[in-house]
Chain A
Amino acid sequence: MNSRRTFLAASAGAIAGVALAPGVRLIELASGRSPEAAASAKNRWGMLVDTTRCMDGCTACVSACATENHLISHGRPRTDAQWIRKVELRDKRSGHAFAAPVMCQHCAEPPCVDVCPTGASFKRADGVVLVDRHICIGCRYCMMACPYKARSFVHEETHDQNPDVPRGKGTVESCTFCVHRIDRGGVPACVEACAKDGGGALVFGDLNDPASEIAKRVAVEPTSAIRADLKLGTAVRYRGI
């Protein structure tokens, strides 16, 4: 029932978009949606990581994520939850080195969703891949299925959570693109921090909206996906890898 209704709503949106003259857009297509509206397939949230601007030694995005989502380190790196991490790579031949943040790539065909036995891993209509922690049983199949190692299991009890970001022991979690912020018209915390304290390497927006900065940039700049060979249709695009 539900999915049928969302499908109908989405196709109505698509028709409305087509019916308009080129260049003329309904306002709600260009900007976000209101808080009482459901996430819709009209939008496809995505992120561009411009590794040429990602600064050496800077971890503004990683710390902003930890602050926003109250990911508190217990000093045990093997089990601490990690939603975004900075990966440093060096070409042995040329010596060319670069770093880039890696987080949930919000795949169009997410393997985590395929393997989840309870339906807790799911993809929203606007492409954001999430864990419904109310029905997650903590089996961690999704963690094994994810080619990006993007998910974490919560090993320890949580305290003083951000009221917008509930999280607790015994469930799996990962980058949510800060749904609690984007649903209210904001951008993810990492993107905000990178623009303010980092090199401005992260661009977030609606890939389906040709007027958005991200859509314009991925249309002209050479970008690629990590492990593009898997054809997962990732929403995170990298420049300069």
Chain B
Amino acid sequence: MTRGRALRAVFVATAAVLACAGASAEGGRTPKPAVTVEKKGACIAPVEEMRRNHMLMLKHDRDRTLRQGIRKVPASLQGCIGCHASNRTGSVVAAKDDFCASCHAYAGVTLDCFECHSGKPKAAPAVQGRDDASNADLLASMLRGRGGAGEGAVKP
């Protein structure tokens, strides 16, 4: 609990730093995390909202997927990974400057998510269907979702 509060303080500081990151010139006195988004288009919510609340969104939708079996949710972890895996490592956490890793290292946040979760997106939905029509729809929607704003399919 106290750790959580401490982290929150760090986070507020980070958010403040990030908020003025755009304005401050290169080589300022304050180090900055290397947060690079290779994907074009938009995130699932405005950037300020994402920076502040992505952990709450993940937790909320985690329970919806796991407990209720809802597979299409906005804040799916596989969704984040599909858009944010870097072109170089194909992962969100494999290298120091990968998306989820760089910011958390900067903010002093340690995640255990990737002890279980793969940091790489799923290659393709390899499912033999009971119902071809719904699979075709699903495939189409997954390709749309994965591709973000009209970009090509995600690399495995």
Contact = CB atoms under 8 A, between A and B. Distances in A.
Interface of A: 2, 6, 31-32, 34-39, 122, 124-126, 128, 130, 132-134, 157-158, 160-164, 166-169, 171, 179, 181, 183-187, 192, 205
Contacts of B68: 2, 6, 38-39, 124-125
Contacts of A179: 69
B120 A185 contact: no
Given A35-B70, A134-B66, A163-B81, A185 B130 contact: yes
| Interface size of B as a range | 20 to 34
The main secondary structure of chain A at its interface with chain B is loop
B122 interface: yes
A185 B116 contact: no
A164 B69 CA distance: 13
B125 A36 contact: no
Nearest to B135: A185
Interface string B66-85: 11111110000010010000
Nearest to B123: A163
Interface of B: 62, 64, 66-72, 78, 81, 112, 115-118, 120-122, 125, 127-131, 134-135, 138, 141
Contact of B67 (A34, A132, A181): A132
B69 A124 contact: yes
Given A31-B130, A126-B69, A185-B134, A168 B118 contact: no
